[in-house]
Chains A and B, each alone.
Chain A
Amino acid sequence: MKRNYITLIVILVGGFFTSCTNDVEENVYDKYQADEFYATPEGADVALAAVYAQVAGNWNGVGYAGADNGWYDLNSMSADEQVIPHRNDGAWQLDFARLYQHEWLPSDLIVNNTWNWLYQAIFSANLAVEQLENAEAAPTKIAEAKTLRAFFYYLLMDDYGNIPFYTENNVTVEELPQASRQEVFNFIVTELEENIPQLSETKGGEYYGRFNKWAGYALLAKVYLNAEVYTGTAQWQACIDAIEELEIGGFSLHPGAANEGSPLGYQYYELFGDRLPEDETILAMFATANVVSRNIYTLRSFSGPHAQELFGVSGWNGTIVPEAFYNRYDDNDIRKAQFLVGEQPGGVTYTPTVSNLDNPGADPFAGVRNQKFYPATPLDGGGASNDFPIYRYADFMLMKAECYVRLGNAGAAKPLLDEVRQRAGLSTLESDPSLEDIYNERGLELNWEGHRRQDMIRFGTFLEANEFRGVSQEYRTLFPIPTSALDANPNLVQNPGY
């Protein structure tokens, strides 16, 4: 009897063992496994879309012109066109003022965010290239991913100079070389020359916000325009050639005329609205607040009650336009409509002069405000839905004019400059333009669009003294490699001076 139920128990226990020991395998119910996911053509397309997700970005300093503390702030506030002062009512940290005063540190958040964002973008571009090639996707898509990668490397090289460089996601940190600015430049030029011809020629529609052939040439023109800064060798003619290629795409200036239905009463400001007009826009960054990215620039500038009165959401009382920059605009210039001084709705009065940026800071309502990106809906206190012009034709007309002047052909430059001026409601120039004319016009036309630092460096004005600092030091033309990147990779060499 006893033996019987011992036997029974042994059988029962044995049964348990065999049924349960195979139970240690993993079950996945709610995610996709990476290998299987990207092995399909649909998956490969998703890889490309993921790279564009990096362009738009969002909070935490991610993205081209997404939100606070990222690439846009780094490249705009280190120039002469905008700054966020610390306020004597305690508002705003001092990082932005430090940018304007050329006192930024390798540990500064904005320097760090920009670097991290760009390397994340490079990674996803590398991944997309690999996935698309593995999936034997259409050559135009592979070319598009490679162009995007070149775009991010161009931004990295422009800000940081000598940078870690890789194109395949399977090297070790020791094998990750810090390429010279020249090497990165060469890579970008070669990559673009090879791939642009394969890009799509479609404008708008499914190519809105994407690198088509024309946006590709626009990027190439930018790279050539600054070749002297990057490599010591100017490439003015190559820049003109690239611009002429992009002109085949058929671009023209969007009208500037007064129009009641347009933002700020001028058709011109549609260039900074919700859906950028296709006649002038070459490459746009798409934004819909709270869905894909956001545009914060007007809300960040307006004071709390002012924005509350106009848009029903509180303003941030942040960015101002330095008085000297504001004073460059002619009263007839329709582009002056973007600035606000004096009494405003909501009972605030902006005074143009900012007397102090850091200690004790600016008075609460000091400083000229800007509404170039007049908030498009949907919007909330976190931002509006204006798209952002990465490249638009006016920029390239002025670039072409600049190259002509630099090549000694100021006559060819004049009609280009005149056209831009006339759209703004200004008269034509009385004589052939000088480089200074072009520099000034670029400032007036392209302010708050992320180009100013690069332009100032190219024209040699970046280090000049301003109302809040003396002459800056030469090494400030490059940003430092962030402290955290040096911590992670001891092989990196910091830029000189930092």
Chain B
Amino acid sequence: MRKKLKEKKNPFSFRFSTTTWVVLLAVFYGSTFQVKATSFTYADTWQQQDQAIEISGTITDDQGLPLPGVNIMEQGTSNGTMTDFDGNYTLSVSSENAVLVYSSLGFESREIVVGTQREIDFEMVASVADLDEVVVVGYGATTKRDVTGAVATISEEEFNQGAITNPLQQISGKAPGVNISQQGSEPGSSPSVRIRGITSLIGGNDPLVVVDGVQGNMDLLNQIPPNEIKSIDILKDASATAVYGSRGAPGVIIVTTKSNKAGTSTFEYSSTASLDVLSNKLDVLNADQWWEQAQRYGVPVSANHGSQTDWYDILTQTGYTQNHTLSFGAGSENFSYRGSVSAILQDGVVINSNNEKYIARLSATQKALDDRLAITMNLNTGILQTSNSIQSIGNAAFTSNLITNSYFMRPTDPVFDTDGSYYTDPNVFEYLNPYAVAQTTVDERENNNLFVSLDADLEVYEGLTVGWFGSWRKTNNTIGFFLPVESTDANAINQDGFANINNSHQDEKLTNVSLTYKNTFGDHKLEALALYEWQQQTYQGNYAQARGFFNNETTYNALQGGDLSDVRTGDISSYKNDRSLVSFLGRLNYTLFNKYLLTLSYRRDGSSVFGENNKWGNFPAASLGWRIDQEDFMQEGIFNQLKLRGGFGITGNQQGLFPQQSLSLVSPGGITYFGGEEIRNFQISQNSNEDLKWERKKQTNIGIDFSLFESRLSGSIDAFTATTDDLLFNYTVPQPPFPYNTIAANVGSIRNRGLEFALSYEVIRTENLSFTMAGNLSLLDNEVLKLSGSINGVDLNTNYIPWGENSFLIEGEAIGTYSILQHEGINNVGTEVVQDINGDGTIDQGTRSPDRVQQGSALPTYNFAINPTVKYKNFDFSMLWRGSGGNKIYNGLRKNMSMMESIGNQNVLQSAVNLDLYTSPYASNLWLEDGDFVRLENVTAGYNLALEDSKYIKSLRLSITGNNLWLITDYSGVDPELNFNGASGFGGDFGIYPRTTSVALGLQVKFK
């Protein structure tokens, strides 16, 4: 019984091995495998009318393949049908004057007068300008033609390919102003995304994520299968995001997943497998070099343990990433469904780091009540299991991740002691053997998540729809950690080994009710929305820790096996809090003469996390569009499309506000000795602020969309300015009069101004060959306008706030501006000398010191991507070059590995030998470097095969993708693409998990 309990019970615990691959491939061509496509008949759907004329036909795409799901309507009536799986259709029309409208997403609509025809077959032409492309704008959708805000839409066809583990990797480099970067390639880690720069200091810069109407934080993106995404829409400017009110300021990422259209049937399998190798590492001294240098600095022979160990090498390996998705679905007139199961399996390049992710999805749509009611339900559930390489370990002198620790190891130290145990040097204070840590530590994370939504739309009157949407989302996280004595970690040794479990649980509920009215009166087109929304999130968790275990067998799974007489402060804790948000939203879209577009929206939000005096906030927005190409004077010309649009809006950001933050609270603070006994100590843990509220961002955007030369050249240009006021910050306040030395308050403002260009040019367009150059560039100018202000009547003269090693928040400068001492040289005893700028004879290290000089910022000022694509017959080839720069990096790791004072107990960089610096009491610009880089991020070559003759297989795609193939940079560290999230300490290099170069093979099979 016990044994059975121990077995992993995992519904998706199949692993795809090479054998499975072979079997699956064999099956494609074999005859034992049968996939039954459901056939649908519509014969009874529409009653025949008097003197009916029956029209039938077959619709194909431009490659001659049958096109299912094409919508065919008799103009001016509700009579219509859809092509079936083989592109066939039959429709009865009332007369020969009837006009049939054929439409399908991604193709130009076509109108055909029936006349004498009884059989109408033709090829649909792929729509070039994609003007009918659906753009999801939040609480609704419009078309690219009608959109007035700055919205980037990236659809499935444009996604980056390769061994994708997170949806964001698919859209990296695809949209200007949307900067997606990943620091290192740690399995399970997610990239960070910043939309139009850093607009908040501590308030959070992560965009809101909306997946089929379910709202959440960035972790929601990690819970959906990348392969099942149809399109991702990114709302960039305030006129677009204002409908999300107090959550809209950092931008919104809207994900639409795939669903099956009526008349289609799907059974697909896609897979990628990639080998990941380390791309770059630091050059440290080898054993002989180290000893030669150590002797120069009088290191005693007792520090040389005579081995030749490559610590970096033994801690790393070749990684392996696989991604498998099996999806199926079908659709009829009244019902459609789609299901999928995905598995993403990763073994990291650092030993014992891996990640497994399994996701199942099911969505179903049902129509009822004479097609007036449409109900859609989505269910998404997943398990994410990660074994981490430790993020932060070390001793008093240096703490970093495990792999960075390996650089510091003396190459003369052995890995194992003579008795077979992990080697430690008793003469080195808190000696850490990183190999022992990697092999003995247990750091396991599991995330179980589920979200469900139900969307019901009822047309109550012509043009008037009542909608109801409800969702809930449950997330359970468990982190188990065990650090045994054998790890050699000082903390573990002191506690005789310790283990802890951290459980957290999150419930998010959301519901909204809406009324939508859509109508056209002659030249006036109107769409109005009124919506009420309620959401509540509850967070709960507990933590327990024990130490001194009898042995290491149970790791963190039996805390009761620890020494229960040794319970310490912080060993047991639990928490619970919640937040709620109530909102009212109104929106009006108005189009005149199909040329002039107007959108107005207004949202009012009330939240429990706002201070008592500021419970409700208002977020209005307005935008205008002018479709110049529709004007008469534009009919003759080179432009296929030309649209001018502009908008203004106010949005909020409340991510940085946590429950209970506006209250003055007392919490337990350890044990103290008082009254002859050890008693619990309590302390005030925060100041109250009844004025606490959302950050307010005002943004103006002007943009132009164009396509010309038969739509061969297309693109858009956007200019914006966004100012965040009421900037949230943990201000340092004098303890008199405040009982706690920081207070979260809304003071100060930041401005971002930017220009965004997206351009695509079809250099070659022939029947067999096409070559498209696409690219985008965004320029960003960031400035901290104001930090000072007044809190509760106390004036704050806040400026020069340290925001990283030598970087600051300075009024009038960009976030993370370096103000740094200037390296002058090294004196005769090997100590660094810096310039005494003001010549007063002393070096002032104060934050406002006149000896400091401003020297750039940690924030990149430009980002770009170049994306050439070639298609030749069935082959396709694409590249993605991506770069950023204009920033400086403080290379703290290089500093830590360049001081010869430490050579006795650590290794140093090769470059330290020539530098010959013994010690430095300063952190100077000697360690400041340019952060510009260009990376060849993705190269994909693919071959598509349509198997018309095969009984079971519709089409096949084989591809090969190389990732991170070439990095061009002057930066001396491992990788200049660091954490650019804008939070305190961003843009500095203190050691990262390495970035990999990978080669991935991909297979995609569509079955019949």
Query: Are B734 and A489 in contact (CB-based, < 8 A)?
Result: yes
In the complex, what's the smallest C-beta–C-beta distance from A369 to chain B, in angstroms? 14
* CB-based nearest B residue for A202: B676
In the complex, are the beta carbons of A37 and B534 less than 8 A apart? Answer: no
The CA of A486 and the CA of B300, in the complex, are separated in Å by: 42
In the bound complex, residues from chain B placing their C-beta under 8 Å from that of A93 are 397
Tell me which residues from 415 to 449 in chain A have a Cβ below 8 Å from any Cβ of chain B: none
Contact A317 B427 (CB under 8 A): yes
Residues from chain B with a CB closer than 8 A to the CB of A255 are none
> Which of B568, B664, B683, B794 is the one whose CB lies under 8 Å from A33?
B664
Distance A475 CA – B943 CA, assembled complex (angstroms): 79
A window 302-334: CB within 8 A of B: 303-305, 308, 313-314, 316-318
CB pair B673–A52 under 8 Å, yes or no, is yes
B848 touches A24 (CB 8 A): no
A90/B829 in contact, CB under 8 A: no
A169–B460 CA distance with the chains assembled, in angstroms: 63
What is the CB-to-nearest-CB distance from B399 to chain A, in angstroms, rounded to a whole number?
Answer: 14
- B736 is contacted by which of A33, A169, A209 (Cβ under 8 Å)? A169
In the complex the two chains form, is A50's CB within 8 Å of B298's CB? no
B678 contacts A91, C-beta separation under 8 Å: no
> A30 contacts B575, CB within 8 Å?
yes
Out of A16, A127, A208, name the residue touching B739 (CB < 8 Å): A127
Q: Is A21 an interface residue (CB 8 A)?
A: yes
Contact A34 B901 (CB under 8 A): no
A358 to B902, CA, bound (A): 11
In angstroms, how far is the closest chain A Cβ from the Cβ of B572? 13
Residue ID in chain A nearest B685 by CB atoms? A31
- Tell whether A233 is near chain B: CB-to-CB under 8 Å: no
- Is the pair B667, A359 in contact by a Cβ cutoff of 8 Å? no
Let me know if B534 and A20 touch, CB within 8 A. Answer: yes
Chain A residues in 8 Å Cβ range of B581: 24
B495 CB to closest chain A CB (Å) equals: 7
Once the chains bind, are B608 and A210 in contact (CB under 8 Å)?
A: no
In whole Å, how far is A127's beta carbon from the nearest beta carbon of chain B?
Answer: 6
Binary A-proximity of B280-305 (CB < 8 A = 1, otherwise 0):
00000000000000000111101100
Q: Which of A5, A21, A207 contacts B582 (CB 8 A)?
A: A21
Cβ of A12 within 8 Å of any chain B Cβ, yes or no, is yes
A379: nearest residue on chain B (CB-CB)?
B494
Which of B352-360, B655-663, B762-770 sits within the interface? B655-663
A202 CB to nearest chain B CB (Å): 10
Report if A248 contacts B (CB, 8 A): no
Which of B582, B660, B684, B904 is A90 in contact with, Cβ under 8 Å?
B904
Interface residues of A in 358-381 (CB under 8 A from B): 358-361, 363-364, 378, 380-381
How far apart sit A314 and B738, CA to CA, in the bound complex (Å)? 42
Q: Are B610 and A24 in contact (CB under 8 A)?
A: yes
Specify which of A24, A86, A119, A207 is in contact with B606 (CB 8 Å cutoff): A24
Closest B residue by C-beta to A289 = B494
Residues of A with C-beta under 8 A to B800:
487
B725 to chain A, nearest CB (A): 22
Measured between alpha carbons, how far is A363 from B659 in the docked complex, in Å? Answer: 55
Within 8 A of B (CB), among A441-498: 483-484, 486-490, 498
Chain A residues near B609 (CB, 8 Å)?
26
Of A53, A168, A172, A489, the contact of B669 (CB 8 Å cutoff): A53
Residue B493 at the A interface, CB < 8 A?
yes
Q: Is B116 an interface residue (CB 8 A)?
A: no
Contact A31 B426 (CB under 8 A): no
Q: How far is the CA of A375 from the CA of B660 in the complex (A)?
A: 44
Q: Residues of A contacting B575 with CB < 8 Å?
A: 29-30
Instruction: Find the residue from A46, A56, A90, A363 having the highest chain B CB count within 10 A.
Output: A90
Shortest distance between the CB of A382 and any CB in chain B (Å): 5
Is A205's CB within 8 Å of the partner chain B?
Answer: yes
Binary per-residue interface labels of chain A (180-204) against chain B in the complex, 1 for a CB within 8 Å, 0 otherwise: 0000000000000000000000000
- Given A88-B297, A89-B303, CB of A381 within 8 Å of CB of B493: yes
Interface string of B809-846 (1 = CB under 8 A from A): 00000000000000000000111000000000010111
Residues A2 and B461 in contact in the complex (CB < 8 Å), given A29-B577, A291-B678: yes
Judge whether A23 and B577 touch: CB under 8 Å. Answer: no
Q: How far is the CB of B215 from chain A (nearest CB, A)?
A: 16
> Are B493 and A53 within 8 A (Cβ)?
no
Interface of chain A residues 9 through 64 with chain B (CB within 8 A): 9, 12-13, 16-17, 20-21, 23-35, 37-38, 46, 48-50, 52-53, 56
User: In the complex where A48-B674, A303-B427 touch, is A89 in contact with B299 (Cβ < 8 A)?
Assistant: yes
B951 at the interface (CB under 8 A from A): no
Q: What chain A residues lie within 8 Å of B738 (beta carbons)?
A: 169
- How many B residues are at the interface, by size bracket? 35 or more
Interface of chain B residues 882 through 910 with chain A (CB within 8 A): 901-906
CA–CA, A106 and B844, complex, Å: 9
Task: Give chain B nearest CB distance to A24 CB in angstroms.
Answer: 4
Contact status A91-B904, CB under 8 Å:
yes
Are A32 and B667 in contact (CB-based, < 8 A)? yes
Q: Once the chains are docked, how many angstroms separate the CA of A484 from the CA of B732?
A: 12
| B contact residues around A380 at 8 Å (CB) | 493-495
Specify the chain A residue showing the minimal Cβ separation from B922.
A107
Answer whether A34 and B845 are a contact pair too, CB < 8 Å, given A91-B905, A206-B676.
no
Q: Any chain A CB within 8 A of the CB of B76?
A: no
Q: A90-B906, A172-B734, A359-B918 are contacts. A52–B666 as well, Cβ < 8 Å?
A: no
* Cα distance, A455 to B569, chains bound together (Å): 38
Contacts of B466 in A (CB 8 A): 9
Measured between beta carbons, the chain A residues less than 8 angstroms from B902 are: 90
Which of A26, A93, A360, A490 is most buried by chain B, counting CB atoms within 10 A of its CB?
A: A26
| A258 interface contact, C-beta 8 A | no
Contact of A20 (CB < 8 Å), options: B460, B582, B683, B829: B582
- For residue A173, CB closer than 8 A to chain B, the reply is yes
Asked if B112 lies at the interface with its beta carbon under 8 angstroms from chain A, I say: no
Instruction: Chain A residues near B905: list those with CB within 8 A.
Output: 89-91
CA distance A102 to B582 in the complex (A): 62
Q: Cβ of B904 and Cβ of A49 under 8 Å apart? A: no
Q: Does A126 contact B (CB under 8 A)?
A: yes
With A94-B901, A364-B427: A49-B679 Cβ-Cβ less than 8 Å: yes
Contacts of B665 in A (CB 8 A): 28, 31-34
**Which A residues lie within 8 Å of B659 (CB)?**
26-27
- Residue among A2, A35, A173, A210 with most chain B CB within 10 A: A173
Residues in B neighbouring A170, C-beta threshold 8 A: 736-737
- Nearest-CB distance from B669 to chain A (Å)? 7
Residue-wise interface mask of A (83-126) relative to B, using a CB-CB cutoff of 8 A (1 in contact, 0 not): 00011111111100000000001110000000000011001101
Question: Would you call A305 and B919 a contact (CB within 8 A)?
Answer: no
A292 at the interface (CB under 8 A from B): yes
B845 touches A106 (CB 8 A): yes
Mark interface residues in B524-539 (1 if CB within 8 Å of A CB, else 0): 0000000010101000
Contacts of B616 in A (CB 8 A): 24
When C-beta atoms are compared, the residue in chain B nearest to A46 turns out to be: B682
CA distance A378 to B569 in the complex (A): 15
A286 within 8 A of B: yes
Report whether B672 and A292 are in contact in the complex, using a CB–CB cutoff of 8 Å.
yes
A416 to chain B, nearest CB (A): 31
CB-based contact B846/A292 at 8 Å: no
21 CB-based A-B contacts, threshold 8 Å: A16-B511, A16-B532, A20-B534, A23-B608, A24-B606, A26-B660, A26-B662, A29-B578, A30-B576, A32-B666, A33-B663, A89-B904, A169-B737, A304-B428, A314-B493, A317-B427, A359-B831, A359-B919, A382-B490, A490-B797, A498-B842
Given A49-B681, A314-B430, 17 further pairs, Cβ under 8 A:
A23-B608, A24-B580, A24-B608, A26-B660, A31-B685, A50-B681, A53-B670, A90-B299, A91-B904, A94-B921, A106-B845, A171-B737, A305-B426, A359-B829, A359-B919, A364-B300, A364-B302
Which B residues contact A (CB, under 8 angstroms)?
297-300, 302-303, 396-397, 425-430, 460-461, 466, 490, 493-495, 511, 513, 532, 534, 536, 566, 568-569, 574-578, 580-582, 606-610, 615-616, 659-660, 662-667, 669-679, 681-685, 688, 732, 734-739, 794-795, 797, 800, 829-831, 842, 844-848, 901-906, 918-919, 921
